[in-house]
């Protein structure tokens, strides 16, 4: 990934930044010279991530905040704290997400509400907090880590798919609304990626079908024409590119990082 001096000391906040794709994004953006705040619900996970990132990149310019993105008040309070620590937030990566599976007729209202609260409304709450400062500055990047589930359908995850389709719709609408402001809004849509969510999916397949771990992983990878799982670093590099000033003409896009699964 080409580094860019214009990004030095800009402040990126990454929700769900303590592990998986979020951690890989933090790693990539720190390598670009940005200051980075990672956010998540588990303070111990965030502390461990910060220690690892500090070891790789040096301590200055890294911070964490503890919050649940579905709680609008917690987002408001903790985003303000992040801005006090490392300056105004120039780049927001809405990566926090949650997935769980069930047949449609067994997906109750609480399940639907949880998927919408975390995956869609969490993105809304966080975006509302950073947008005024970005508009004042005349520059900003909002990158929503959606999913190929926001571009197509998958069985047994109707609530998750609906929420992620909502994120894609929000991305497109907001990109048009902000098109002349210097703020771009894009979505990155990973296919099945080596994360804890995929580990849980593998476990579910094993328990429900009696398949081995290798068979379960192969089943998930089979939808990818490259016949493999995506790596978090591949998603992170796409996010890092969208952050660059050279990507200023890219807005309203939903970029699939999925080996050709969705075109």
| Number of Cα atoms under 13 Å in the Cβ half of residue 46 | 18
The answer to whether 176 touches 252, Cβ cutoff 8 Å, is yes
Residue of 86, 52, 57 lying closest to 65 (CA atoms)? 86
Strand order across the 11-15 sheet: 62-66, 35-40, 11-15, 91-94, 140-145, 183-190, 254-257
For this structure, is 64 an active site residue?
Answer: no
DSSP state of 95: -
The catalytic position among 23, 64, 156, 160 is: 160
CA distance 93 to 36: 11
**Distance between CA atoms of residues 16 and 143, nearest Å:** 13
- Catalytic residue numbers? 160
């Amino acid at each position: 990934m080409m580094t860019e001096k214009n990004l030095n000391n800009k402040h990126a906040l990454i929700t769900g930044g303590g592990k998986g794709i979020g951690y890989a994004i933090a790693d990539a953006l720190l390598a670009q010279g940005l200051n980075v705040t990672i956010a998540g619900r588990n303070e111990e996970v965030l502390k461990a991530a910060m220690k690892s990132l500090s070891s790789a990149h040096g301590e200055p310019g890294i911070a964490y905040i503890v919050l649940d993105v579905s709680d609008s008040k917690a987002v408001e309070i903790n985003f303000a704290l992040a801005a006090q620590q490392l300056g105004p937030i120039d780049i927001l990566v809405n990566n926090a997400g949650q997935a769980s599976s069930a047949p449609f007729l067994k997906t109750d209202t609480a399940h639907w509400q949880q998927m919408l609260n975390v995956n869609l409304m969490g993105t809304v709450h966080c975006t509302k907090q950073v947008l005024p400062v970005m508009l004042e500055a005349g520059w900003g990047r909002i990158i929503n880590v959606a999913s190929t589930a926001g571009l197509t359908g998958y069985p047994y995850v109707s609530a998750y798919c609906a929420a992620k389709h909502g994120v894609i719709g929000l991305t497109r609408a907001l990109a048009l609304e902000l098109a002349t402001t210097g703020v771009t809004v894009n979505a990155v849509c990973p296919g099945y990626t080596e994360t804890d969510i995929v580990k849980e999916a593998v476990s579910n397949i094993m328990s429900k079908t009696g398949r081995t771990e290798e068979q379960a992983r192969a089943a998930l990878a089979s939808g990818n024409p490259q016949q493999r799982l995506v790596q978090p670093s591949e998603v992170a590099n796409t996010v890092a590119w969208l952050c660059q000033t050279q990507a200023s003409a890219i807005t309203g896009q939903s970029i699939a990082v999925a080996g050709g699964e969705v075109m």
